[in-house]
Structure 1
Amino acid sequence: MTGGVQGAEAVLAGLDEQQRAAAAAVRGPVCILAGAGTGKTRTITHRIAYGVHAGVYVPEQVLAVTFTARAAGELRGRLSALGVGGVQARTFHAAAMRQLRYFAPRVLGGPMPELVENKLRVVAGAATRHRLTTDRASLRDLAGEIEWAKTTLATPDEYPARARAAGREAPFEAAAVAAVYASYEQAKQREGALDFEDLLLVTAYALEEHRDVAQEVRGQYRHFVVDEYQDVNPLQQRLLDAWLGGRAELCVVGDPHQTIYSFTGADPDYLLGFADRYPDAEVVKLERDYRSTPEVVGLANRLIGMAPRRTGLPGLRLLGQRAAGPEPRFVEHPDEPTEAAAVAAMCRALVDSGLPAAEIAVLFRINAQSQVYESALADLGVPYVLKGGERFFERPEVREAVLLLRGAAAGRDDGGPLVPAVRDVLASVGWVEHRPPPGGAARDRWQSLSALVDLAVDLVAEQPDLTLAGFVAHLAERANAQHAPTVQGVTLASMHAAKGLEWDAVFVVGLVDGVVPIAQSLARPAAVEEERRLLYVAVTRAREQLTLSWSLSRQPGGKRSRPRSRFLDGLAPDTAEQRARARRSPARRAEVQLDGAAGERFERLRAWRAATASAASVPAYVVLNDATLQAIAESRPASLTELSALPGIGARKLEMYGADVLAAVDENSSV
């Protein structure tokens, strides 16, 4: 490709009108709002190439920042194909490491410190110093809380208040987490080491406090591009601001409909508020979707269109550019095993019809849901791969549980009931029925162990005389069937792990309230809306065929009482089962007249009840009825004794739900 005007125009030749407008906007500040499937990577690489060929950019003075090494590599490859070399395309951490390694003698008085590659080791030492008993899941959650605090620029002293405001679910009391955080920082200082968050923080500090360093870096990099800007966190934004040094030669690219990582510290307000921060910014929208059929695009638009309008940048509405395809399917099943078997059968049929297995995906909300689909696909001989997680029987907690079950089976000769035996064994490693612990990793562990109990319940329904030894043998057979090596297969992935990927046929499964949206989000409207965006991400992974499904009961023969996801209201046609439930319960949400603080408490209680009922696969009124919730909201009990005096609260319900009810009426209360 030749340079100059001819080469620059050639770069723009293959772009559509919207992409061309974005690529030609080579002077910052620029905000490119790029919807799913609209060719954002193509656009930003052509923008850089156009700027270079037009003589606006010197390649070595452009820094393009991404979130993954794979994305950075793709940018470099595409730029090379466009005749542009020398542009730095790196992740935030890679760019910071390169700069800090060079400037460390000047800034730190010595060579680049060692990096903490095993954060859990340092966290474990800090937890031990504070006499906290931790398993691996708790350590992962502690490490996650420390990472969240550091990416949001919260010090140990600030952590408790900031965590409460953000609705964090930490594995320990906030004060204990803050103490471990402080000890962790002290341990790193003693070792003279930095973690990956420190890389960004110290690099930003070097630019902020050392004028000579800032002049050198800002002289080297004069034009910045940030991809996936909706996922930037405060620490990354601080480093970006330090790089810019008040300049506005910045192009950000993002999609406000795909902001799904707030739990890691990502703050979409940087994208949404870009035009406020830079009033003269050029805002360009990419809305022509080249990935999905108009039918899939239409469903995605309707789904996200039901979300409350967020202030900031203009909205995006995708415009499907592909030929028409099949309408998305909505399928209701009586129970989870039936749902998994039906999905596996459809995958089998697609593969038999000639569609490569690698062009099919099954997407779910939580990794624990993979087990039933791993089993169903293995039963039909459909190869599969699990993305973003370990196969069910390879997970540490599952391996440990199977070993304990095998040992218990070897010591039993009474042939007693299976399900109580399985529950007893798992209770020995801390599993408690219907009581998922706080913290993401701890909850994942609990859900994996719960899946073993669920499997035992399902098998007993088919084989009432199944013994513990027989159950262990069945687990071994399943593990062997699911460990077959595969070259390519159907992708099993969580919705989070699916972001950035696409397949010809996508099955989005398990769409019931309490799972999508996830139960712990129900008390916070902002968290519920993030769950909607997560479903939007899942839907927009499909190129041609999209199936969304849910099951009314967890296990065969169970009461069909689980409501499908609220996000499907107005999208999926009502089934006969749903119409019957609507007649039995005319209002999905109770019409209770409460005002002010009592009304807010009632709403929190109702959200808690919905999550609890969903987890237990029972109707909401079985947990607590509306009259009891109203009495609690109005009286606001401050102790178990006060709670026990209210109507509808007996000894059993006090034991099962008392602590959670008190938390619902007190925690984060505005009163």
Structure 2
Amino acid sequence: MDPDRVLDGLDPEQTAAARAVRGPVCILAGAGTGKTRAITHRIAYAVASGVVAEQQVLAVTFTVRAAGEMRGRLRALGAPRVQARTFHAAALRQLSFFWPQVVGGPLPTLIDSKIPVVARAAHSCGVQADRTALRDLASEIEWAKVTQVRPSDYEAAIGKAGRTAPMAAHDVARVFEAYEDARRERNLLDFESMLELTAAMLADRPDIADRVRDQYRYFVVDEYQDVNPLQKLLLDAWLGDRDDLCVVGDPSQTIYSFSGATPSYLTRFSAAYPHATVVRLVRDYRSTPQVVRVANLALKSAAAPSGVQAADHRLELVAQRPDGPDPTYTEYDDEPAEATGVARRIAALVDAGTPAREIAVLFRANSQSAAYEQALADAGVAYTVRGATRFFERPEIKQAVHTLRGARQGADDAPLAATVHHILAPLGLTPAAPEGRQAREKWESLAALAQLAEDVAAERPGATMDDFVAELDARVATEHAPGLEGVTLASLHSAKGLEWDAVFLVGLTEGMLPIIHADTPEQVEEERRLFYVGVTRAREYLAMSWALARSPGGRKGRRPTRFLDGLRPASPSLAAGRRERRSARAAQCRICGATLTEAAARKLGRCLDCPADYDEALLERLKAWRRATAEEQKVPAYVVFTDATLQAVAEHVPGDIAQLSRISGVGAVKLERYGEAVLALCAGRDPEAPAADGDEGGPDAG
């Protein structure tokens, strides 16, 4: 391949990065500036130019997904033999290969979770710890190991780091030491020990170090701002005295300091390598100018990481996309009202044509997810919670891929998408999603596989089953999974590296963002960077919201996060927020008068333990209608209306659209689709019969 053809389509800064094929190179890449494109083209250009053989390149990143994406791009650029791996995968490969000659005997068993061993260690030390405390202990041990802190030094180390131990520091140190003893006695290996042993092997065995360094001569490290001291120790062992190292990162996206990561290796790269080439990527191809403006302003008053001048590390993004809608800022009376309001906006976006999989709700803490799951379910919007098993490791997908491979021999000339749908039907790909969370998750996985077939057919008309299976095999090899259909619910941390057309940043209050336990200025600034990461996930539509109280009727004492200062309009009560709040007054039980705080109780309009006063016959008619409607539309029954919503309708018996709209779970979309039928049932009429003259209940009534 002509090397210069590899550079086609790169902007001037990306081209400069790709042409810098030798010596230390530092690429400071802002969000959405095409860093993966730049580094994969750099590798491909170096290979095509004869600078390095592709099998001598080791590209390291932090997630299996990112490594898979990198391998996929390199394969498309004509460099399929480049090794793109996580730190842990690369270390395990080397340790496993050399273990027989370095140590001998069976390789230690790699453990996925420290918790069982930590539990035994805590018990042996007489330290009482429940499941939550054990998780905290495991995280603290992980921090100590990646920062190269030994049990005997732990108490002094946390004082120096300004870190708060999850329990008495001397107890943590005791459990840490017992954990390490138990791990060694049982021949177990955790992820940190794996990196440590690999680095030690290279340091202690020059012959093995020479073999590894002869194999890998050219290094690229992505997300370099997230490197921790243990990973840096291993990287230095791989490099030896060479400097063919390219690092890529953005200090403004440093969000893992709590786990031991430090941006200092990136920000001080030029000090470590004075002759390094430094390239800045600032052209943002992801987001509209309106979103980019928010991102830049969010960091305008940010403090630089310790020991770094602000001007030296911050990248001001320059938008490359056309204008889009202005970001929105909405204030709600309480958290349930916020979740309901966000779900309604999402339903409107989906109805207007935005694919559900191109929408995300991002929050600071995983505990915030439940309200949005319920609100989206009430609105009839499919969703997926990020953090499940990797796509191609799911049992149903393994089975499906195996079946598709076997079916290609007898495939006829039918269209690809139809053939794949037919093959997957016996495995559970029904026309509509089934009831039940586990069943629905399996169905969504199979539906994503079917969607991939449709995408392949659209991109390559005439594609055959052989073509589709080849695409699947390549994706399995690169672990490049298709996106699931449904709104993504994710924490801000787990959203790193992803992007969507529309992003809703929710729960933006002091105490949640910055999180209440962010005590030091450094911790608060990390929370600001987390907010920046959330903002820069949005391509076009960005909505930010907060609630003044946790529960309906609660004291409205919360304040929006300080990170919105200078971003949102000066007025504390925005017009949009006021409109939302008017529909979300504090609910009271119509029977005993108590304030209702539970979602189900608010929907019913009474305490759950207060006597019900609904028309049982009406409820049965509503359920029968819902069942028939769901079957006709080939959707799960809960997508039409949940049981709680139907019971609330049966209790209130609304007489017009206005009354029906006040029932929680009946939004604008459902009013338009089902309002007339529900009102007909409440009036004792057949929903299929035309309304008599003068009857209310049509979609324009009220």
Q: Common fold, TM-score beyond 0.5?
A: yes
Q: Secondary structure at the match of 2:151?
A: coil
Query: In structure 2, what is the Cα distance between the partners aligned to 1:100 and 1:13?
Result: 39
The question of whether the paired residues in 2 share the 8 Å contact of 1:59 and 1:86 is answered with yes
**Cα distance, 1:352 vs. partner?**
1.1
Report what 1:490 is aligned to: 487
The question of whether the paired residues in 2 share the 8 Å contact of 1:293 and 1:322 is answered with yes
Query: In structure 1, what is the Cα distance between the partners aligned to 2:129 and 2:303?
Result: 40
Equivalent residues, number = 484
**Cα distance, 1:349 vs. partner?**
0.6
Query: In structure 2, what is the Cα distance between the partners aligned to 1:56 and 1:26?
Result: 8
Q: Does 1:542 align with 2:538?
A: yes
The question of whether the paired residues in 2 share the 8 Å contact of 1:367 and 1:389 is answered with no
Q: Secondary structure at the match of 1:497?
A: coil
Q: Which of the numbers 128, 139, 154 marks the counterpart of 1:159? A: 154
The question of whether the paired residues in 2 share the 8 Å contact of 1:141 and 1:170 is answered with no
1:485 partner amino acid: R
Report what 1:556 is aligned to: 552
The question of whether the paired residues in 1 share the 8 Å contact of 2:331 and 2:574 is answered with no
Query: In structure 1, what is the Cα distance between the partners aligned to 2:240 and 2:560?
Result: 50
Q: Which of the numbers 498, 503, 508 marks the counterpart of 1:506? A: 503
Q: Which of the numbers 259, 262, 265 marks the counterpart of 1:270? A: 265
Q: Secondary structure at the match of 1:147?
A: helix
The question of whether the paired residues in 1 share the 8 Å contact of 2:227 and 2:261 is answered with yes
Deviations 1:66-91 (A, max 9, x none): 11122112212211111113211111
1:334 partner amino acid: D
Query: In structure 2, what is the Cα distance between the partners aligned to 1:196 and 1:337?
Result: 40
Query: In structure 1, what is the Cα distance between the partners aligned to 2:563 and 2:511?
Result: 12
The question of whether the paired residues in 2 share the 8 Å contact of 1:207 and 1:213 is answered with yes
The question of whether the paired residues in 1 share the 8 Å contact of 2:331 and 2:573 is answered with no
User: CA 1:327/1:237 → structure 2, altered by over 3 Å: closer, same or farther?
Assistant: same
Q: Which of the numbers 516, 521, 526 marks the counterpart of 1:525? A: 521
Query: In structure 1, what is the Cα distance between the partners aligned to 2:324 and 2:155?
Result: 51
**Cα distance, 1:576 vs. partner?**
4.6
2:321 partner amino acid: R
1:340 partner amino acid: A
Deviations 1:217-240 (A, max 9, x none): 111111100011111000000000
The 5 Å alignment of 1:337-352 reads 337-352=336-351
Deviations 1:368-408 (A, max 9, x none): 11121111111111111111379xxxxxxxxxxxxxxxxxx
The question of whether the paired residues in 1 share the 8 Å contact of 2:373 and 2:383 is answered with yes
The question of whether the paired residues in 1 share the 8 Å contact of 2:362 and 2:503 is answered with yes
The question of whether the paired residues in 2 share the 8 Å contact of 1:96 and 1:200 is answered with yes
Report what 1:49 is aligned to: 44
Q: Secondary structure at the match of 2:517?
A: helix
The question of whether the paired residues in 1 share the 8 Å contact of 2:329 and 2:574 is answered with no
The question of whether the paired residues in 2 share the 8 Å contact of 1:23 and 1:46 is answered with yes
**Cα distance, 1:140 vs. partner?**
1.3
Deviations 1:588-643 (A, max 9, x none): xxxxxxxxxxxxxxxxxxxxxxxxxxxxxxxxxxxxxxxxxxxxxxxxxxxxxxxx
The question of whether the paired residues in 1 share the 8 Å contact of 2:329 and 2:545 is answered with yes
Deviations 1:98-139 (A, max 9, x none): 111121133224442222344222111100001122222111
Report what 1:21 is aligned to: 16
Report what 2:593 is aligned to: none
Q: Does 1:211 align with 2:206?
A: yes
The question of whether the paired residues in 2 share the 8 Å contact of 1:364 and 1:508 is answered with yes
**Cα distance, 1:335 vs. partner?**
1.4
The question of whether the paired residues in 1 share the 8 Å contact of 2:282 and 2:315 is answered with yes
Query: In structure 2, what is the Cα distance between the partners aligned to 1:116 and 1:569?
Result: 45
Query: In structure 2, what is the Cα distance between the partners aligned to 1:260 and 1:483?
Result: 32
Which blocks of at least 5 consecutive residues in structure 2 are unaligned? 390-434, 445-484, 576-702
Query: In structure 2, what is the Cα distance between the partners aligned to 1:160 and 1:236?
Result: 23
| TM-score scaled by length of structure 2 | 0.67
RMSD between aligned residues: 1.8
Deviations 1:2-35 (A, max 9, x none): 2xxxx11000111011100001101120000111
Query: In structure 2, what is the Cα distance between the partners aligned to 1:267 and 1:175?
Result: 26
Q: Does 1:178 align with 2:173?
A: yes
User: CA 1:195/1:484 → structure 2, altered by over 3 Å: closer, same or farther?
Assistant: closer
The question of whether the paired residues in 2 share the 8 Å contact of 1:375 and 1:482 is answered with no
Q: Secondary structure at the match of 2:152?
A: coil
The 5 Å alignment of 1:300-339 reads 300-310=295-305, 311=308, 313-339=312-338
The 5 Å alignment of 1:125-164 reads 125-164=120-159
Q: Which of the numbers 563, 569, 572 marks the counterpart of 2:565? A: 569
Q: Which of the numbers 46, 68, 75 marks the counterpart of 1:73? A: 68
The question of whether the paired residues in 2 share the 8 Å contact of 1:506 and 1:541 is answered with yes
Query: In structure 2, what is the Cα distance between the partners aligned to 1:72 and 1:286?
Result: 21
Q: Secondary structure at the match of 1:158?
A: helix
Deviations 1:475-503 (A, max 9, x none): xxxxx887782632111111111111111
The question of whether the paired residues in 1 share the 8 Å contact of 2:304 and 2:313 is answered with no
Report what 1:442 is aligned to: none
Q: Does 1:281 align with 2:282?
A: no
Query: In structure 1, what is the Cα distance between the partners aligned to 2:572 and 2:171?
Result: 51
Deviations 1:245-269 (A, max 9, x none): 1211100000111000011111111
Which blocks of at least 5 consecutive residues in structure 1 are unaligned? 391-479, 580-671
**Cα distance, 1:314 vs. partner?**
4.0
Query: In structure 2, what is the Cα distance between the partners aligned to 1:531 and 1:77?
Result: 33
1:175 partner amino acid: H
The question of whether the paired residues in 2 share the 8 Å contact of 1:378 and 1:481 is answered with no
**Cα distance, 1:504 vs. partner?**
0.7
Query: In structure 2, what is the Cα distance between the partners aligned to 1:389 and 1:116?
Result: 19
Query: In structure 2, what is the Cα distance between the partners aligned to 1:293 and 1:578?
Result: 23
Deviations 1:46-80 (A, max 9, x none): 00000011111111111111111221122122111
The question of whether the paired residues in 2 share the 8 Å contact of 1:65 and 1:92 is answered with yes
The question of whether the paired residues in 2 share the 8 Å contact of 1:505 and 1:543 is answered with yes
The question of whether the paired residues in 2 share the 8 Å contact of 1:231 and 1:259 is answered with yes
Q: Does 1:369 align with 2:364?
A: no
The 5 Å alignment of 1:613-624 reads none
Instruction: Choose 374-383 or 12-21, whichever is displaced more.
Output: 374-383
Deviations 1:559-595 (A, max 9, x none): 222111011111111225599xxxxxxxxxxxxxxxx
Instruction: Choose 115-124 or 20-29, whichever is displaced more.
Output: 115-124
**Cα distance, 1:304 vs. partner?**
1.0
Indicate the structure (1 or 2) with the bigger Cα radius of gyration.
2
1:568 partner amino acid: L
Q: Secondary structure at the match of 1:63?
A: strand
Query: In structure 2, what is the Cα distance between the partners aligned to 1:389 and 1:80?
Result: 27
Query: In structure 1, what is the Cα distance between the partners aligned to 2:438 and 2:334?
Result: 26
The question of whether the paired residues in 1 share the 8 Å contact of 2:147 and 2:228 is answered with yes
**Cα distance, 1:192 vs. partner?**
2.3
1:519 partner amino acid: I
Query: In structure 2, what is the Cα distance between the partners aligned to 1:173 and 1:50?
Result: 54
Q: Does 1:297 align with 2:292?
A: yes
What is the percent sequence identity of the aligned residues? 59
The question of whether the paired residues in 1 share the 8 Å contact of 2:327 and 2:544 is answered with yes
The question of whether the paired residues in 1 share the 8 Å contact of 2:203 and 2:237 is answered with yes
The question of whether the paired residues in 1 share the 8 Å contact of 2:96 and 2:107 is answered with yes
Query: In structure 2, what is the Cα distance between the partners aligned to 1:309 and 1:261?
Result: 16
